Amino acid sequence: MAVVSHWLTRYVVAAILVMIAFFSRHALMHIIGGELTPFITFFPIVMVVALVLGLGPGIFASAIAAMMSAYYIFPPVGQLRYGETSYIYNIIVFIGMSMLMCLFAWLYERIRLRVSHLEAEHAADKVRRENLEGLVNDRTAELEEKNRKLVEEIAERERTEAEKRKVEAQLAQTQRIEALDRFAGGIAHDLNNILYPIIIDLEGLLEDEPKGTARSDILDQILKAAYRQRDLVKKILSFSRRSEQVLEPVHFRVLLEDAINFLRSSLPRTIEIQLHINTQSDVVMGDPVQIQQIIINLCQNAADAYASQKGTIEIRLANTHIQPLYAYQGMRAGDYLKLTVKDTGTGMKPEVMARVFEPFFTTKGIGKGTGMGLSIVHGIVKGHGGAVTVESEEGKGSLFTVYLPVWHESEYQRQVYHGESAPQVKGSEKILLVDDEEFIISSLKRTLASSGYRVVALTDGHEALKEFRDHPDEFDLVIADLTMPGMTGIELARKILEIRSDIPFILSTGYNNIISRQEAESFGIRELLLKPTGAQELRNAVRSALETRY
């Protein structure tokens, strides 16, 4: 341990310490006699110097000590007698021992240095290890955070994928339904055109036939079959959204409660209906009959899902707002009423769920279900500018959600004039009748003529316009078909109303070129006649159009 740093100082200090030892020894000799070993004070000093000041100063100190004791102990040079060699021997022993002590001190110093070096290294290692541990901890935390983010990202991606699959399935379903919709609409169009004259003529024949005859019974049977056919076509039309709708502002809540009362009495007693209403505004622009049909069809299905077991149908009505981003199935963003019908019945397999809105799709036995229930719901809801969705799991139950746009008063501008008194069904006025289908023309003409009207029947719009232009004041009413080649009923109406704005005009329409009452009224058209009408309906419409004054 080189406590004193400069080498020269160390040697000087060593020399001074040896001097002190020398004088101490001298003093001791006077006190305790000269028989003591001559190096008694030198040994500890050499030891201390070697240990404290280093190997060099140690050797140096032992050399001076040897010299001084030799000088002090030896008789003066020249007085040393032959044989007095024990002094020399003592000094050699002293030097040898001093050297050993120095060596021992040196070794001790080396070991001490080595130990402290190892300790320092150990401490540095410890610090490094601690730093490393900190680093590892930081890195682990960082990795864990990254891992968590990755898991979240994967979950998010899976959610997006699932959402995408759902939207794609919905799109495919919508496309399939729309294709069926066009197909059904087309069939219904042809069926109605065939049914129209059949019903009118049968009614005419039946009116002329005395009651109770076998002939009148047969005619009655055929007419009933035709009516059934008409009802079926109506169902198809409800699905394809081409049926005539009477849209008016209605309180959904009232319709819902009415429908539930009806269902409570008609469904089996084992089915409990729970109703939860939580709405601020429940007015929708809708057809009350159709809206109740939605509720009844959904609840009937939910009840069927319990297959004569006990069960609960949970119905909820609430307001919701659809954001542009979430607007699906052609819904616009805005305020909606949200009706949910939930059951915990059989539920559906995914392949069944994908087809539920298709017309004639049913899993119920023959005679138990027509498969039209949900397709009608779909058609009605779409016709009201809404959407319907389904969620279901086999064995767990199903949830149907219907969205209908909430009606705000500012949107309502329509004003409909209703006749003051019930119209008379007979008359003698002159009617211009236009339809491109010959057999329809002849049936209508016969029916109207039998009620006393004078009818000019034509199959072409241009011809009809010419006829009217030539004799504008002769006619009291015009009945025209909407779809005609050459000139449509609307074009004809516009031109005829230009000639005479007060002439009552009835537009007869099929469902696949639906025009709303509002639209028709905006053209000045008084009545819309939806084919196939019965004879009585036709007569009523004619009288109503003739007697309504604006």
Ligand X SMILES: Nc1ncnc2c1ncn2[C@@H]1O[C@H](COP(=O)(O)OP(=O)(O)OP(=O)(O)O)[C@@H](O)[C@H]1O
Nearer to ligand X among residue 44 and residue 369 (C-beta): 369
Stretch near ligand X under the rule CB under 6 A, chosen from 132-140, 143-151, 206-214, 354-362: 354-362
Would you list the DSSP string of 494-529? HHHHHH-TT--EEEEE-GGG---HHHHHHTT--EEE
Give the whole-angstrom CA distance, residue 50 versus residue 62.
9
472-501: contacts with Mg ion (CB under 5 A):
none
271: partner contacted, choices ligand X, Mg ion, none (Cβ within 5-8 A by kind): none
99 φ, ψ to 5°?
-60, -45
Least distance from Mg ion to the Cβ atom of residue 363, Å: 10
Would you list the DSSP string of 85-130? -HHHHHHHHHHHHHHHHHHHHHHHHHHHHHHHHHHHHHHHHHHHHH
Least distance from ligand X to the Cβ atom of residue 400, Å: 7
> In terms of Cα–Cα distance, which of 183, 296, 298, 284 is closest to 242?
183
Nearer to ligand X among residue 311 and residue 405 (C-beta): 311
459: partner contacted, choices ligand X, Mg ion, none (Cβ within 5-8 A by kind): none
Q: Which residue is nearest to ligand X (CB)?
A: 373
Nearer to Mg ion among residue 279 and residue 301 (C-beta): 301
Which residues contact residue 205 at a Cβ distance below 8 angstroms, ignoring those fewer than 6 apart? 219
Are the C-beta atoms of 130 and 108 separated by less than 8 Å?
no
Residue 39 CB coordination number (10 Å): 24
Least distance from ligand X to the Cβ atom of residue 279, Å: 23
Residue 405 CB coordination number (10 Å): 20
Nearer to Mg ion among residue 373 and residue 383 (C-beta): 373
Size of the site for ligand X (CB under 6 A): 23
Among 301, 398, 512, 544, binds Mg ion (CB under 5 A): 301
- Could you give the angle at the alpha carbon of 367 between the alpha carbons of 366 and 369, nearest 5°? 85
Nearer to ligand X among residue 355 and residue 495 (C-beta): 355
Residue 345 binds to ligand X (criterion: CB under 6 A) = yes
302: partner contacted, choices ligand X, Mg ion, none (Cβ within 5-8 A by kind): ligand X
Among 250, 337, 348, 477, binds ligand X (CB under 6 A): 348
277-336: contacts with ligand X (CB under 6 A):
297, 301-302, 305
Radius of gyration of the chain (CA): 58
Task: DSSP letter for 421, please.
Answer: S
Residue 369 binds to ligand X (criterion: CB under 6 A) = yes
The dihedral built from the CA positions of residue 254, 332, 248 and 483, taken in this order, carries a sign that is: negative
Among 286, 373, 379, 461, binds Mg ion (CB under 5 A): 373
Residue 398 binds to ligand X (criterion: CB under 6 A) = yes
Residue 362 binds to ligand X (criterion: CB under 6 A) = yes
Residue 267 binds to ligand X (criterion: CB under 6 A) = no
**Sites of contact with Mg ion (CB under 5 A):** 301, 373
What residue ranges bind ligand X (CB under 6 A)?
297, 301-302, 305, 343, 345-348, 352, 356, 361-364, 369-375, 398
